[in-house]
Chain A
């Protein structure tokens, strides 16, 4: 871990967030009326502390489910780049690691995605550690340390005695924020902490083996193809465009799409490269566990467990990965 580390109280954190709220939208764990979610909060009292993990990932702050990207004005096209300032508070290590994978996909490929990049650069990211795994979580098996991630500007360790948090600044933006809003920082000797992943859940196979040696049809026969897993996943990033005529002025929107939907790959000719549901599930799985690893050096599954908790049919990606591992032996 990076030094120096400081101790800050919950009251100081709330004061800091209240200040940040003056010129930025603060997203933090809060109730959406039904579930805990990363919500835009206007009042720091709405922020829910504690160890519960928000139902959805915070990806839509950076990659909204729908966003206007192009406006056609006076016969010409203009890009709609967001200049909004955001603060993401309370992101869990699994979400931070996932966001970093998404950052790589959108900014380290052969083209940069300016819409994502601007939102990412305009966001102060404050992470917080988890104390316990929740049902469905398998972060440790996916080599994600639930107690720490450096993929943020500031990281708060799990809440300690007397409402104090160990805070680490991991970027200039984080350091500057701490210095500006927190008086009389109490430093502590950061000894770091050891993280030993449980047995590592990864797939060491070629694409050919994954296609030929696995009986995907029976493996995912309960999958309903609803796409819930892709919407709730912190690394899924498939999208499509939709042009809309808005009273004489046309706009182009980018919307989330899902590789689990049959029309996702449908050609105008009627041909569909992934006609069957199990082929689409295989695509989602192979993309996470093989393709992103090959292209960007990291498995695009951080073990957040969201798809496991949300799936209406009980499809469990961890169990599937384990079964595949056995079948490939």
Chain B
């Protein structure tokens, strides 16, 4: 990052990947920085992405931090800025500030089984961690990796094309689930917290990493705690209006913490000490 944390870098949209096929509302933007610059980041961090003249908003990195010739940002169309971004084409320019925020504790997680539970676009901020762990140089540091990926329907999964590759890796399981029965769907149906109850894992040797709708995080956390997992073994990443990214604008302030610099990654023990304002 340059000395001025508010000054964005110019990046070109190299590729746009349509993720969801139901209402086409999630796209992944593969960005390349001008002048072949690279942005060093770690899993869990985020950027402030903007379209000049429209505005800026925080988005999590969604790509492998060890392969940062380009970065991926997955964006769901939800408001003014994301409407404009969704209308952009390959070759168009965006501006990016970052990286901001803390990271998933990749070293602390070493030597453990990892249980990922993601709902909808909640898989996006976990993808850097998943792909980081699945890299050859890192894979042996982590034991069994289980992923429970949930979506509203079979057409709402993101990174669907990668699941087969992940499934083909040693000690790696991918379980998919959708909300309602669909013709031709041979995998699970039902909410993630119900499926978690049927999964087996060693409570003392597993870290759970969750991201998804608040309601999913709430129910899955409750289930994991009921099953005996300790609060400091359950990680999630918070979403707040991190406008400045540097801990000053006040919008992501919860208690004395700022999600943009102290987070967005917290475990449930840490969250328990914070006021319930997220």
Interface of A is mostly: mixed
Q: Number of contact residues on A: which range applies?
A: 35 or more
Is A207's CB under 8 angstroms from B250's CB?
no
Q: Which B residue sits closest to A293, measured CB to CB?
A: B256
Decide if B68 is an interface residue (CB 8 Å cutoff). Answer: no
Q: Which B residue sits closest to A258, measured CB to CB?
A: B250
Measured between alpha carbons, how far is A259 from B241 in the docked complex, in Å?
A: 12
- 1/0 contact trace for B244-262 toward A, CB 8 Å? 1011111101111000010
Measured between alpha carbons, how far is A174 from B40 in the docked complex, in Å?
A: 43
A305 smallest CB distance to B (angstroms): 23
Decide if B111 is an interface residue (CB 8 Å cutoff). Answer: no
Q: Identify which of B8, B240, B275 contacts A70 (C-beta below 8 A).
A: B8
Interface 9-mer from A18-26, A107-115, A142-150, A221-229: A107-115
Q: Identify which of B51, B214, B251, B256 contacts A240 (C-beta below 8 A).
A: B251
Measured between alpha carbons, how far is A273 from B5 in the docked complex, in Å?
A: 26
Given A241-B56, A243-B50, A243-B56, A265-B251 contact (CB < 8 Å): yes
Is B248's CB under 8 angstroms from A243's CB?
no
Is A245's CB under 8 angstroms from B253's CB?
no
Interface residues of B in 1-56 (CB under 8 A from A): 3-10, 34, 50-56
* Number of interchain pairs (Cβ within 8 Å): 124
Residues of chain A lying within 8 A (CB to CB) of residue B56: 241, 243, 252
A252 smallest CB distance to B (angstroms): 8
Interface 9-mer from A3-11, A32-40, A72-80, A133-141: A72-80
Residues of chain A lying within 8 A (CB to CB) of residue B183: none
Is B250's CB under 8 angstroms from A268's CB?
no
Q: Identify which of A72, A115, A291 contacts B253 (C-beta below 8 A).
A: A291
Is A291's CB under 8 angstroms from B241's CB?
no
Is A72's CB under 8 angstroms from B249's CB?
no
Interface residues of A in 230-271 (CB under 8 A from B): 237-245, 250, 252, 254, 257, 259, 264-269, 271
Residues of chain A lying within 8 A (CB to CB) of residue B240: 265, 267, 273
Is A243's CB under 8 angstroms from B53's CB?
yes
Is A239's CB under 8 angstroms from B256's CB?
no
Q: Identify which of A106, A250, A290 contacts B52 (C-beta below 8 A).
A: A250
Decide if A195 is an interface residue (CB 8 Å cutoff). Answer: no
Measured between alpha carbons, how far is A265 from B239 in the docked complex, in Å?
A: 11
- 1/0 contact trace for A118-132 toward B, CB 8 Å? 000000000000000
Q: Identify which of A109, A250, A279 contacts B277 (C-beta below 8 A).
A: A279
Given A240-B249, A287-B253, A274-B53 contact (CB < 8 Å): no
Decide if A311 is an interface residue (CB 8 Å cutoff). Answer: no
Residues of chain A lying within 8 A (CB to CB) of residue B52: 72, 77, 243, 250, 252
Q: Number of contact residues on B: which range applies?
A: 35 or more
Decide if A219 is an interface residue (CB 8 Å cutoff). Answer: no
Q: Identify which of B7, B50, B79, B249 contacts A238 (C-beta below 8 A).
A: B249
- 1/0 contact trace for B194-231 toward A, CB 8 Å? 00000000000000000000100000000000000000
Residues of chain A lying within 8 A (CB to CB) of residue B175: none
Residues of chain B lying within 8 A (CB to CB) of residue A250: 52-53
Q: Which A residue sits closest to B245, measured CB to CB?
A: A111
Q: Which B residue sits closest to A111, measured CB to CB?
A: B246
Residues of chain B lying within 8 A (CB to CB) of residue A287: 250, 253
Q: Which A residue sits closest to B3, measured CB to CB?
A: A114
Decide if B93 is an interface residue (CB 8 Å cutoff). Answer: yes
Residues of chain B lying within 8 A (CB to CB) of residue A109: 246-248, 261
Decide if A323 is an interface residue (CB 8 Å cutoff). Answer: no
Q: Which A residue sits closest to B250, measured CB to CB?
A: A238
Measured between alpha carbons, how far is A243 from B51 in the docked complex, in Å?
A: 9
Measured between alpha carbons, how far is A243 from B50 in the docked complex, in Å?
A: 9
Q: Identify which of A72, A115, A291, A294 contacts B53 (C-beta below 8 A).
A: A72
Given A265-B240, A271-B214, A294-B256, A237-B277 contact (CB < 8 Å): no
Measured between alpha carbons, how far is A239 from B6 in the docked complex, in Å?
A: 13
Residues of chain A lying within 8 A (CB to CB) of residue B246: 109-111, 113
Residues of chain B lying within 8 A (CB to CB) of residue A268: 57, 78-79, 82
Q: Which A residue sits closest to B8, measured CB to CB?
A: A77
Decide if A43 is an interface residue (CB 8 Å cutoff). Answer: no
Residues of chain A lying within 8 A (CB to CB) of residue B5: 111-113
Q: Identify which of B4, B10, B93, B247 contacts A79 (C-beta below 8 A).
A: B4
Is B6's CB under 8 angstroms from A69's CB?
yes
Given A75-B10, A243-B50, A291-B256 contact (CB < 8 Å): yes
Decide if B95 is an interface residue (CB 8 Å cutoff). Answer: yes
Measured between alpha carbons, how far is A54 from B249 in the docked complex, in Å?
A: 26
B250 smallest CB distance to A (angstroms): 4
Q: Which B residue sits closest to A116, measured CB to CB?
A: B248
Name 12 extra pairs, CB < 8 A, besides A79-B7, A273-B240. Answer: A78-B7, A105-B248, A109-B246, A113-B248, A237-B248, A238-B250, A241-B244, A243-B50, A252-B52, A252-B56, A271-B214, A274-B277
A–B pairs, 10, beta carbons within 8 Å: A76-B10, A77-B10, A239-B243, A239-B249, A240-B243, A265-B240, A265-B251, A267-B240, A271-B214, A273-B278
Residues of A within 8 A of B (CB): 69-70, 72, 75-79, 81, 105-106, 109-115, 207-208, 211, 237-245, 250, 252, 254, 257, 259, 264-269, 271, 273-274, 279, 283, 286-287, 290-291, 294-295
